Chain A
Amino acid sequence: MSGMRSITLGHYLPGNSILHRLDPRAKLMGLLILIAALFLIKTFSGFFYFGLFFVLTFVSSRLPWRYFMRGLKPVLYIVFFTLILHFLFTKGGQVFWRFGPLTIEENGVFLGSFMTLRLILLVITTLLVTLTTSPIAFADGIEFLLRPLRVFRVPGHEIAMMMTIALRFIPTLMEESDKIRKAQMARGADFESGNIFRRARNLVPLLVPLFVSAFRRADDLAVAMESRCYRGGDNRTKMRQQQVTCLDYLGVFTTCGIAAAIVLTGV
C-alpha cells in the first residue's frame, strides 16, 4: 500500500493536451534546454519568469495539481535539507539572527533560497515531462537523443530497451514486494521496530522471495523475447513511427526563445 503510493512520482497520466501530444523527442529537447537555462539564470527575477512559463504550461497540460504536488513530496526533504545547510553554514553579509555559535547571515539566506528555488523548478519541470509522456515514448525519445553518441560506441537502443524494461517492471516489483511483505507480516514478521541491524536482518524474509521472483520474471521475459526473435540495434524498424509535426518544431523553438529571453533578463 505504502509502496504503491510512492510510485506516483513520475507516473504517466494519459491525456490529450498539447503537452501530451508533443513528440517525446521534442519534449526531451525542450526539457534539456530549460534545464540548461535554469543553471544559467543568476537572479530571482529570472526564476520568476521561468515560474510563469511553467505555470502556463502546467495549466495547459490539465494535470490535476493535487496529484502533481504529491509527486513532489519525496523531493521536499532534500529541498528542506539544502535550505537548512545554506542558512546555517553560508556566511557573509548582515547577521540576521544569532544563537550561541549559530548565526544566520545574509548570504546564507540568499543562497539558500536561490538553490532551493532552482531545485524545485528543476524537479517540477522534469515531472511535467514525465507525467505527460508514456514510458515507451520516453524511451524512444532517449534512444533518439543518444544517437549522436553512437560515434563513441554508446549502445543507444540497448540502453533505451533496458530503461523500458526497468520502467515496466517497477510497478510489478512494488506490487510483489507489497504482497510478500504482507504475507510475512501475516506470519508475525516485524518490519517496523528494532534497531538498524535488526531491521536489516528482518528484511531477509522479504528480499529472498523478491529476488527469486525477479529472476523468474527476468527468465520468462528473456524466453518470451527470444521466441519472438528479438534483436536490437542496427536496422531495427519501429512499429510506431514518430512523426515530427509543425507543432513539435514550434514547441522546441518557442521553448528555446523563451529560455533565451529569460536567461538574458536574468543574467
Chain B
Amino acid sequence: MLIEARDLSYTYMPGTPFQVEALKKINLGIARGEFVGVIGETGSGKSTLVQHFNGLLKPTGGEMCVEGKNIWHGETNLRKLRSRIALLFQFPEHQLFEETVFNDVAFGPRNLGMSGSEMEQRVRFGLTSMGLDFDTYRDRSPFHLSGGEKRRVAMAGIMAMRPEVVVLDEPTAGMDPVGRRKFMEQVSRLHREEKLTVILVTHNMEEIARLAERLFVFNRGELVLQGQPAEVFKSVSLIKETGLEIPAFSELLQQLRQRGKEVRTDLFTVGDVAGEILKLSREERT
C-alpha cells in the first residue's frame, strides 16, 4: 500500500470544552495508481482525513504510513513528502498570491529548489496539464481570472511539482457544469496517462461513481463502508442513513432489477445506461 492509515484518530482542540472527535480509528489503504473517492456528509471528517496523508495534521491516535513507514516516526522529510503527495484544498483560488500566473505556478517548483529553464518547463507542464495555454496565461494576474480559471491555475501550481499523488478536496465545489466537466476531464486524463494516483473528496455522487475505482464512505468520523462504486451504492439504506444520495442511474437500474428485470447495476454513464435499457427492451420484445 502506498498510503495507509492504521487506527487513525484525530481530535480537534483536545482537553478543551470545544473538543471535536473528527476521526475515530480509521483503517484504510490506497495503492499506487488508484483513483479513489471519499464521500460523506458535511462535517464527517473528510477534509481532516486527507490532511493526514501529507503530514499537515498529526494524528492524535494511531499511525499514518506512506510506503509502510510511519511518517511521524524517524526522519521522514515532510516537505519532500508534500511534493510527492500534493493536496489541493477546498476553494484553492484563495491561496493565489503572486502578481503573475507564471510566478504563482512556479511557487511549488521554486520551493523544491528549481530555477531557470527547469522551472519554466515545470510551469509549462502544470499549465498545459490543466488545459491552459502557457503563453496566453503566463503574464496575466491570477486575481483577474474567472473563478474556473483560478481553480485551474491553482491546480496547475500543484501539478507543476509533478506529484505522484494528488488529493483533491472538493475541487469543483461552486463551479459551473462546463467548468466542472473540463476540470474533471483533465484530472482523469492525468490519471490515465501519467499514472497519477488521485484521491477525490466530493459531494457529487454521479461524478465520483463514474470516475473512482474505489469509494470510502464516512459518517461522523467513522469509515462505514468501502468498495467499488457499484458495490457501495447497493447498500441503499446505509448510504441514505449517512445523509448521502444514490446516483440516479444506480437507483434506476436497481429499481428495474427489483421489478424482476435482468439488468446490470454497475453502470454510471448516460451511454452505458441507455445501452442497457435498449438491450432490455429488445429482449422484452423477443
Contact = CB atoms under 8 A, between A and B. Distances in A.
Contact of B79 (A64, A190, A209, A213): A190
Interface string B13-31: 1011110000000000000
Contacts of A176: 94
Interface in B43-65: 51, 54, 56-57
| Interface SS majority for chain B | mixed
B87 interface: yes
B127 interface: no
A187 B56 CA distance: 11
Contacts of A212: 94, 97, 143
Interface stretch (A40-48, A177-185, A259-267): A177-185
B17 A67 contact: yes
Contacts of B130: none
A4 interface: yes
Interface string A1-26: 10011001000010000000000000
A147 B273 CA distance: 71
Contacts of B94: 176, 179-180, 183, 209, 212-213
Given A4-B13, A5-B13, A186-B86, A204 B97 contact: yes
Given A64-B17, A204-B97, A182 B51 contact: yes
Nearest to B110: A188
Contacts of B40: none
B158 interface: yes
A150 interface: no
Interface residues of A, number: 27
Interface in A10-62: 13
B199 interface: no
B107 to A, nearest CB: 6
A187 B16 contact: no
A187 B157 contact: yes
A205 B56 contact: no
B264 interface: no
A219 B111 CA distance: 33
Q: Counting chain B CB atoms within 10 Å of each CB, which of A176, A180, A186, A204 scores highest?
A: A186
Interface size class of B (residues with CB under 8 A): 20 to 34
Contacts of A190: 79, 111
Classify the secondary structure of A's interface with B.
helix
A196 B56 CA distance: 23
Interface in A56-75: 64, 66-67, 70
B240 to A, nearest CB: 31
Contacts of A186: 54, 56, 82, 86-89, 158
A208 interface: yes
Interface in B64-115: 79, 82-83, 86-89, 92, 94-97, 107-108, 111-112
B82 A188 contact: yes
A218 interface: no
Given A66-B15, A209-B95, A1 B89 contact: no
Interface string B98-138: 00000000011001100000000000000000000000000
B161 interface: yes
A228 B12 CA distance: 36
A189 interface: yes
A187 B79 contact: no
Contact of B111 (A179, A187, A213): A187
B217 to A, nearest CB: 25
B16 to A, nearest CB: 6
Given A188-B82, A188-B161, A212-B143, A183 B95 contact: yes
A184 B82 CA distance: 10
A205 B99 CA distance: 11
Given A70-B15, A186-B89, 6 more contacts: A184-B107, A186-B82, A187-B86, A187-B95, A187-B111, A190-B111
21 contacts: A1-B57, A8-B18, A64-B17, A70-B15, A176-B94, A179-B89, A184-B95, A184-B107, A186-B158, A187-B111, A187-B161, A188-B111, A188-B112, A189-B111, A204-B97, A205-B107, A209-B96, A212-B94, A212-B97, A212-B143, A213-B94
